[in-house]
Structure 1
């Protein structure tokens, strides 16, 4: 049984011209209520970690530079940061917390691992910022092993473990939406997963997070990687070098 008389229903439906827009909005709201909004699972994909994953797996295409970088001399220093300023990784982690820098779960595990080392004295580290595309790769993606091998071939060194959190602390003006992977030897989490670190500003603040650092992990050629000047630190051959050598055979 209707709660409204026929005339009342007609008046409710045939809104005056002045109120027609309001009626349209009411109808739209009802339609959205029927269709529904994304659930919490979908909204979770907007977290900083998943924004990074979406960016790294995007299929953006860039036109290759006319000439690939052939030597470290072709790359300008992007930033110089101080390292060796903390006595322990725990002190470093506490400083990140004090500054309000968010640290992802796997990134936190990396900072607590014995293989995460700090410089024994204060010094300056010169950093360079490159993409695999600039290093001459023309495919859509490249493995970390091949990327690292190419970087070392032209004289760019892998960044020391301390570089990532120190960059996070000192790069306070990072633009919103920027995600920088650190070209470093992977460090295994407590579960045995090889990971590398990234510094990012996903819009909710400055963060330090981890991503797949296995030798076969693929990244788009447009990804931006932070490496270290070889004259600052030239570590010996690591797992990535051995993996790249095996792939080249």
Structure 2
């Protein structure tokens, strides 16, 4: 869905621009950014904790997790990869991530169009094969998800284990199965811990981190780096 009021944002070179997502309904989202020049971006998620016991007034503590953006391949590269994918039964790796011991984990998976669509609603679907591995590296269970273009789904890795299995999930891998319909998989792992904030209706743990999967870089392996005395300094 287009982000109302932020369908187009003018960026000033060397200046960080914040775009609020606070107006969206509660839920899991994937955000794609298209620009006519190279840009970098990221997202942050805040969790509210309990009041600080060392302060006389009720000062809330917050934990913040940053989610780094990943580059999308140029349209021609995505098309070439699609043509070389082989038969519909082939699977191509979409990354792997290790789970954090002592935390609760949730996968967030999305199907993002490789190119900006002219119409409001993107079309097609993406089939993902999710595998869970235990501490020894053995496969503990699999499941297949079908995501429509532009949609996002969450999954608890513990539910992927085979029925009756007591294996402790230690890592997750995701593969794209068959044709991708011009869609790219975007996914991450949210690791949570700690006590809830205590607010009514808020049962989420107050400590949070977001881990991105290790994938083969879709962009060029050589990049130009230059110093800047303005970008990201928050003056």
Relative to the length of structure 1, the TM-score reads 0.25
More helix by share: 1
Relative to the length of structure 2, the TM-score reads 0.26
More strand by share: 2
Of structures 1 and 2, the larger Rg is shown by 1
